[in-house]
Amino acid sequence: MTHRGHALSSEQILCIALRFFANGSFLYNVGDAEHVSKATVCRAVRNVTLALKRLLCTFVVFPSHRPTSLLKEEFHRIAGFPGVIGCIDGTHIPIIAPSINEGDYVNRKSVHSINVQIICDGAHMINNVEAKWPGSVHDSRMFRESTLSARFAGVEFDGYLLGDRGYPCQRYLLTPYPDPEPGPQRHYNLAHCRTRARVEMTIGILKARFQCLRRLRVTPERACDIIVACVVLHNIATIRGEQCPTLSPCDPGINHTPPADTRDGRAVRDMICVNHF
């Protein structure tokens, strides 16, 4: 409380931030709608963002709060792909050009962005998010340098991730065959594609639910915090069974030269192909 005016209630602060997350308009537009100043909107968004960020470890857990066997069954029902505990992909969140290290944030489409790593389950829950890398960073590097990659390498998890050709095929991260032969390899690729589509749908839902992610007009550090806050809110909405928004067409991906597959990864992929497809 101050002598200068009337302090906002917690509900008002939360509603101001949610309006910003949902429609992504300029701060003064949100302020006009809520009858507060632009500075007040900025503080409200920042306070709610940091509060949600502190809940990250509660609502975003890999592989899941649910049993691993349940995750595998859920993915298996999609297209018969065995042993999957998550699907991984990167997505670019456009930002305004930063004043520091501006060139690092220019992606392959010549747009300034944050490259975000998302891993989801079969129910559109996001179980892992890495929101700290500039747009110029390759998807495979994000995963390679993540804590989760080291945990997979240490055989901490019983199951596979599915990724596109932007990742190297590894014994715990399976990618499609680059030139599939007729028969099992094509069946493998089809099942892989249908199953991995779940992460593309999840990213589409996230961006449709929170229009601010179409372009963030803040510094890269604050953009990363807002992205994490939106992921936490997305999982809360999914847990509560909130209606999914209508998906807009997905942005075409940014093509990179496919990284080299590992020998162990090819062996695991061949084994699954022969035994299941």
What pLDDT does residue 32 have? 62
Query: What are 276's two structure tokens?
Result: 């299941």
Categorize the per-residue pLDDT at 252 as very low, low, confident or very high, splitting at 50, 70 and 90: low
Helix and strand counts by DSSP (H, E) for the chain: 10, 5
> Above 90 in pLDDT, residue 90?
yes
Query: What is the DSSP secondary structure assignment for residue 82, as one 8-state letter?
Result: T
Q: Which residue has the higher pLDDT, 260 or 273?
A: 273
What pLDDT does residue 250 have? 55
> Above 90 in pLDDT, residue 33?
no
What pLDDT does residue 247 have? 67
pTM of the model: 0.90
> Above 90 in pLDDT, residue 192?
yes
> Above 90 in pLDDT, residue 133?
yes
What pLDDT does residue 121 have? 94
Residues 148-178 have pLDDT tens digits of 999 999 999 999 999 999 999 999 999 999 9
What pLDDT does residue 256 have? 61
Residues 43-63 have pLDDT tens digits of 999 999 999 999 999 999 999
Contacting residues for 175 by C-beta, under 8 A, at least 6 apart: 162, 163, 164, 165, 167, 168, 169, 192, 261, 265, 269
What pLDDT does residue 253 have? 55
Mean pLDDT lowest for which of 129-133, 190-194, 242-246, 267-271? 242-246
Q: Which residue has the higher pLDDT, 270 or 259?
A: 270
What pLDDT does residue 254 have? 59
Residues 212-228 have pLDDT tens digits of 999 999 999 999 999 99
Contacting residues for 136 by C-beta, under 8 A, at least 6 apart: 103, 104, 105, 106, 107, 115
